[in-house]
Amino acid sequence: MIVPAERLERFMHVILYIFGLILITEWLRPVDQLTELGNIFTFVLFLIFSLLLHYFRIHWSIRSILIFAYIFLSIQLLHSKSGLSWMKGFLIDFTANLGFIYDGDWESITNPFRTLLFFVLLWLVTYLIHYWVMVRQSIFFFFILTVFFISVLDTFTPYAGDRAMIRIIIIGFLMLGLLSLLRLMIQEHIACPPATIKNWGFVLTGMIVVSALAGFMGPKLSPKWPDPVPYITSYSDKVLQEDQGSEKKSVGYDEDDSALGGSIEPDSSIVFFNNASEGHYWKVENKDVYTGKGWVSIEEPDVASFSTGQDMGLLDVHQVPEVVRTKEMTATVRMEEMYSHILHPQSAYLKMIESNIGTDVDFVYYLGMDKIITEWQNGDPQLLKEYELTYDMPSFDIAELRKITAPDESMDLLMKNNTQLPEGLPNRIFGLASQLTRNETNWYDKAKAIEDYFDNPEFIYSKDEIPYPDNNQDYVDQFLFETKLGYCDNYSTAMVVLLRAANIPARWVKGYTEGERTVYRGESVYKVTNNNAHSWVEVYFSGIGWVPFEPTKGFDGQAEFYDSESKQEEIKSQEDAPANAEQPKQDVKQRLDAPDQKAHGEKGAHKLAGQWKRAAAALVILTVLAAIAHLTRRKWIPHLHILLYRQKSRPHFMPAYSLLLKQLKRAGLIRPAGQTLREYAAYVDAVYGTNEMTELTAGYELMIYRGDVEDGEWEHFQAAWERMMKKTSS
């Protein structure tokens, strides 16, 4: 009994689909074990469903509808317990999630969107299985890729891939053997009886079993190369020796700043969200005693107490000076990492704090540290998950700041606390402070001269390979005169010490930068992570208060400044200018109204980072398009060649025939070694139900061997050649 070829091919395709499904599940097993994927059966069932749609050749439009229906039903079951209400939030967050992908912020992607991406990935894999089995009839690449994937996971993760590798090898060799038989049957038109197929399978299985046993029983050579895992692990997790002084620590808020220095590791975990209308720094506290190694606080600071909803203006600590221009703002802070301190905007005049727990909360305000914490109850701090701040955000008049040239009689205690320096501070620090400020007459310009000094190219911003100072070495002296390498703690501490060396009161401030604008629960907010932990400088000006400065390279401080005197002079010169002057008054007014902010640093860094992100996104898109073009080349290349040959002034048949042979091979009609062109042409005509390949081949042979057909007679073969090229793309 001989089984019809078509029926046999379908049966073998089913077997190959099953084997392909088993190989894909080997990819899912470690993902399920190493992550919190869960519900693995849902994804395996999706693979089966997708492969069945491919096998029965359901139209792509219907197939897409069914696939997306399954995906959204699965997301509903996995992530929602309340009907279809999740759909609204999912659609709202869709654009935000695309933005997270563009920015490389993978941790912020929502779980439903992660599930959608995983389903799409599995859908693409099932298409590749279908393409390799049905079109290419070769699974070798996917087989090798699976072996490599499991090998890497077995080597570098806790996943044990011993049994998985055995299953992969057995299934892979079975698929390779069956595909070889299938290609032989199609190309040679062999009608195999069941007995022949049975014998083939028996021999193939026997060879695989014997090979596996030989592998287990054979001698095992010792490794010729050292294990790379310990080296890689030690390299990534190592801390440098104490004599090198570059022990690494994680970035983020830490109360202990007594020993500054050392490299820091990035940490993108979210600390809080806030919905402020404008980005600004967020303060936790300031410290005013420099020890030569780091910062500590005054032992017994003055305190004030207040409650939720109380007007802080009554405390007489946040009075707005008459010369400071402010605008009222509100912001809701949603904490992701819980602390007892309350975050408040840099240099702002805080007016009120509202909690969200429905009851009054008492706060303690440490005046010297400018730090607010919640009052403890029963021995434990009250940790607020969410609270709302009302505050006045200031803009500082440079003209008023420049009026301050010396301390007044009310600043004796403040000068004592905020010009403190440790004994034995190297004299060259005092010399540098004098050199930087000798040409300036007021405190503001002196502070700006010191701030601008750190813009010099010899200073480099880096978080890696940062040393600790030696036992007999000052932290600031090491940074200013030896390494000139560091991050915000180095820059801000150095500026405070230089200001104090110039007898200008200054203090060291720590908190967070403004963070990144994003969408959270459908609302536009700023997301602040541990990577945004930062330190900066505040300088005291009599009659104005504490004013922020930003010496760290790559940061702009976000504080607003304007110069009222400069503005008046420019307005006066504009009024005195001719009526037909080139620059309109309106433009001047807009320019004068703009804040005089520090315009370097972080904006430039953000712009450069944005350019890199756009370049990376463009590269990814081009790679995806190139991959799609490569996978679909069988469909579009024939039409491209047809178009090109129609445009040629003198097309030739011989290269056109060679292109046709190449396209037939690309379509899966591979010509076996030793087969004549006539035999191959008959096989192609049998597949496509035509006799045009035989006609083209006869003309080609006449041209090659006899010369009876002139190469210029392209019109005689053009129509048949174009039809055959189109058939290969179907």
Give pLDDT, residue 268. 86
- Residue 597 is assigned to a structural domain of this protein: no
Give pLDDT, residue 583. 42
- Residue 221 is assigned to a structural domain of this protein: no
Percent of the chain with pLDDT over 70: 76
Q: Are 319 and 544 in contact (CB under 8 A)?
A: no
Q: Which of 158, 192, 215 is the last residue of a domain?
A: 215
Instruction: Label each residue of 644-655 as H, E or C.
Output: HHHHCCCCCHHH
Q: How far apart are CA 54 and CA 58, in angstroms?
A: 6
pLDDT band at 232 (very low <50, low <70, confident <90, very high): low
Average confidence (pLDDT) over 167-177: 80
Kindly report the backbone phi and psi dihedral angles of residue 559, in degrees, each rounded to the nearest multiple of 5, phi listed first: -75, 150
- Residue 570 is assigned to a structural domain of this protein: no
Q: What is the pTM (predicted TM-score) of this model?
A: 0.50
* Most confident by average pLDDT, 330-334, 553-557, 663-667: 330-334
Percent of the chain with pLDDT over 90: 19
pLDDT digits (tens, 9 = 90+) for 83-126: 555 566 666 677 777 777 777 766 677 777 878 888 888 888 88
Whether residue 180 is found in the same domain as residue 280: no
Q: Are 529 and 267 in contact (CB under 8 A)?
A: yes
Q: How far apart are CA 596 and CA 592, in angstroms?
A: 9
Kindly report the backbone phi and psi dihedral angles of residue 713, in degrees, each rounded to the nearest multiple of 5, phi listed first: -80, 55
pLDDT band at 221 (very low <50, low <70, confident <90, very high): low
**Dihedral angle over CA of 542, 594, 280, 450, nearest 10:** -50
- Residue 179 is assigned to a structural domain of this protein: yes
Give pLDDT, residue 662. 86
Q: Which of 296, 271, 278 is nearest to 286 (CA)?
A: 296
Q: How far apart are CA 615 and CA 626, in angstroms?
A: 16
Q: Is 508 buried (19+), middle (13-18) or exposed (0-12) by CB count in 10 A? A: buried
Cα dihedral sign, 130-133-136-141: positive
Q: DSSP class of residue 26?
A: H
Kindly report the backbone phi and psi dihedral angles of residue 188, in degrees, each rounded to the nearest multiple of 5, phi listed first: -100, 0
Whether residue 201 is found in the same domain as residue 301: no
Q: Is 507 buried (19+), middle (13-18) or exposed (0-12) by CB count in 10 A? A: buried
The long-range contacts involving 112-121, CB below 8 angstroms and separated by at least 24 positions, are: 112/75, 112/78, 112/79, 112/86, 115/74, 115/75, 115/78, 115/79, 116/71, 116/75, 118/37, 118/43, 119/43, 119/46, 119/71, 119/74, 120/71
Structure tokens at 636: 């579009």
Whether residue 152 is found in the same domain as residue 293: no
Q: Is 394 buried (19+), middle (13-18) or exposed (0-12) by CB count in 10 A? A: buried
Whether residue 296 is found in the same domain as residue 178: no
Average confidence (pLDDT) over 68-83: 75
pLDDT digits (tens, 9 = 90+) for 42-62: 888 888 888 888 878 888 888
pLDDT digits (tens, 9 = 90+) for 664-712: 887 878 888 778 888 888 888 888 888 888 888 888 887 777 555 455 5
Q: Which of 279, 190, 239, 184 is nearest to 516 (CA)?
A: 279
CA-to-CA dists, residue 464 to 199, 239, 532, angstroms? 65, 11, 16
- Residue 238 is assigned to a structural domain of this protein: no
- Residue 618 is assigned to a structural domain of this protein: no
The DSSP result for 120-164, as a single string, is: HHHHHHHHHHHIIIIII---HHHHHHHHHHHHHHHHHSS---HHH
* Paired sense of beta strands 344-345 and 282-287, if any: antiparallel
Exposure on the CB side of residue 516, measured as CA atoms within 13 A? 20
Inter-helix orientation angle 692-701/715-728, to 10°: 130
pLDDT band at 585 (very low <50, low <70, confident <90, very high): very low
Whether residue 98 is found in the same domain as residue 181: yes
Give pLDDT, residue 541. 93
**Residue for token digits 């439903």?**
112
Average confidence (pLDDT) over 548-553: 92
Give pLDDT, residue 398. 92
Q: Which of 198, 215, 232 is the last residue of a domain?
A: 215
Look at residue 573 and tell me whether its pLDDT is greater than 50: no
pLDDT band at 579 (very low <50, low <70, confident <90, very high): very low
Give pLDDT, residue 713. 64
Give pLDDT, residue 488. 92
Whether residue 344 is found in the same domain as residue 411: yes
Whether residue 416 is found in the same domain as residue 489: yes
Q: How far apart are CA 617 and CA 612, in angstroms?
A: 8
* Between residues 332 and 614, the one the model is more confident about: 332
End-to-end alpha-carbon separation of the chain, Å?
34
Mean pLDDT of the chain: 78
Whether residue 270 is found in the same domain as residue 126: no
Kindly report the backbone phi and psi dihedral angles of residue 286, in degrees, each rounded to the nearest multiple of 5, phi listed first: -130, 160
Q: Which of 562, 590, 613 is the last residue of a domain?
A: 562
Whether residue 208 is found in the same domain as residue 261: no
Structure tokens at 579: 């009526």
Number of domains in the chain: 3
> 3-state DSSP call for residue 434?
helix
Q: Is 415 buried (19+), middle (13-18) or exposed (0-12) by CB count in 10 A? A: middle
Whether residue 195 is found in the same domain as residue 265: no
Whether residue 209 is found in the same domain as residue 253: no
- What's the domain range around 499? 249-562
- Residue 599 is assigned to a structural domain of this protein: no
From 267-271, 479-483, 554-558, 578-582, the region with the lowest mean pLDDT? 578-582
* Between residues 547 and 410, the one the model is more confident about: 547
Whether residue 211 is found in the same domain as residue 257: no
Q: Which of 281, 294, 262 is nearest to 487 (CA)?
A: 262
The DSSP result for 182-197, as a single string, is: HHHHHHHT----HHHH
* Between residues 493 and 382, the one the model is more confident about: 493
Average confidence (pLDDT) over 64-74: 87
Look at residue 335 and tell me whether its pLDDT is greater than 80: yes
- Residue 617 is assigned to a structural domain of this protein: no
Q: DSSP class of residue 273?
A: E
* Between residues 140 and 332, the one the model is more confident about: 332
